[in-house]
Amino acid sequence: MGETIRAIRQVEFGGPEVLHAVDLPRPVPGPGEVRIAVRAVGVNFADTHARENRYVRAADLPLVPGQEVVGIREDTGERVVALTRGGGAYAEEVVVPVERCVAVPDGLDDDQALGLLVQGLTAWHLFRTAARLEGGEAVVVHSAAGGTGSLAVQLARPLGAGRVIATASTAAKRDEALRLGADVAVEGDPDGLTERLVAANGGRGVDVVVDMAGGPGFDASLRALAPFGRIVVCGIATKEPNEVRTGHLLRHSRSVVGFWLFHCLDDPARRFVAPLDDLFARALRGEVRVHVGGRWPLERAVDAHRALVARTTTGKLVLDVGRP
Ligand SMILES: NC(=O)c1ccc[n+]([C@@H]2O[C@H](COP(=O)([O-])OP(=O)(O)OC[C@H]3O[C@@H](n4cnc5c(N)ncnc54)[C@H](OP(=O)(O)O)[C@@H]3O)[C@@H](O)[C@H]2O)c1
pLDDT tens digits, residue range 151-195? 999 999 999 999 999 999 999 999 999 999 999 999 999 999 999
112 lines ligand 1 (CB under 6 A): no
How far is the CA of 287 from the CAs of 125, 146, 290, in angstroms?
A: 17, 18, 10
Element spanning 273, H or E:
none
Residue-level pLDDT at 8: 98
**What is the overall mean pLDDT for the chain?**
97
Residue-level pLDDT at 97: 96
pLDDT tens digits, residue range 288-324? 999 999 999 999 999 999 999 999 999 999 999 975 4
95 CA → ligand 1 middle, Å:
27
- Per-residue DSSP letter, 286: T
188 lines ligand 1 (CB under 6 A): yes
What domains are there in the chain, each with its CATH number? 4-103+291-320 (3.90.180.10), 118-262 (3.40.50.720)
Counting beta carbons within 10 angstroms of the beta carbon of residue 318, is it exposed (0 to 12), middle (13 to 18) or buried (19 or more)?
buried
Q: Which residues of the chain have pLDDT under 50?
A: 324
CA distance 212 to 62: 28
Residue-level pLDDT at 324: 46
Residue-level pLDDT at 1: 57
Quote the longest CA-to-CA distance of the chain. 64
CA distance 293 to 143: 14
Q: Out of 305, 309, 311, give the residue to mutate to test ligand 1, the one with the largest number of ligand atoms within 8 Å of its CB.
A: 311
What is the Cβ-side half-sphere exposure of residue 312, based on CA atoms within 13 angstroms?
7
119 CA → ligand 1 middle, Å:
10
Strand blocks (E) in 113-223 = 138-141, 163-168, 184-187, 206-211
